[in-house]
Copies of this chain bind each other. A is one copy, B any other.
Amino acid sequence: MLEKRLKAITKGEKTRAGIVNCAKQLFYEHGYGSTSFSDIVDASGLYRGNIYHYFKTKDEILQAVIEQHLADFRGLMAQWDKEIADPKLELLAFIHMITGRQSELAEYGCPIGTLNTELGKDRRDLQQAARALFDLFRDWIAARLVEMGYRDEAASLALHLLGRAQGIAVITHVYQDAKLLQQETGQLEAWVNKL
């Protein structure tokens, strides 16, 4: 029992995390609707009943996937906040993240944008949860802009930056061309530098 309390990750939690990570990747690559429960079963190497032991429905898996995305990005932002003092350089780090993931973006689009776009059409209940991913970036960007001296404009400037990034992701995905991403992120960097 002591051992159990000391160990941060139990076996069950590890299994659960494996399911979530498999589903996260599948949902990203094929979309939520196009990923079947059996796809998750096959990719995870587990059995159907085993997965249903952790999640009552496929929708619940998506909820966990969204929370995992949130945790991932919060980790990234915490790292930026820790390592980079200048808020403008932090915003450039955000753009650098996009260029660093250019091949994935060209193949599957933006993980948070494509998810919200899919769910926004006829699963608004779930899209409301996925929207938190946009809020996370919007608020973090706005906070950096406040640090830079922008006050009233911070919120709208943050959405502008986020929108530009989304537009770049869509174009890159549609044309599956990372070169387009590089051209456009260059202009977005210039926009940030002029702030």
Interface residues of chain A, those whose CB is within 8 Å of chain B, are 29-31, 33-34, 108-109, 113-114, 116-118, 120-122, 127, 131, 134, 156, 159-160, 162-168, 170-171, 173-176, 180, 183-184, 187
Contact = CB atoms under 8 A, between A and B. Distances in A.
Contacts of A114: 117, 121
A163 B156 contact: no
A184 B171 contact: no
A176 B163 CA distance: 14
B131 A156 contact: no
B162 A31 contact: no
Nearest to A173: B120
Contacts of A184: 159-160, 163
Contact of A170 (B29, B117, B180): B117
A121 B118 CA distance: 11
Contacts of A164: 163-164, 167
Given A131-B174, A174-B116, A34 B122 contact: yes
Contacts of A116: 170, 173-174
A167 B176 CA distance: 17
A187 B164 CA distance: 12
Contact of A33 (B31, B159, B168): B31
A168 B156 CA distance: 12
A122 B35 CA distance: 10
Given A34-B122, A121-B109, A166 B159 contact: no
Nearest to A114: B117
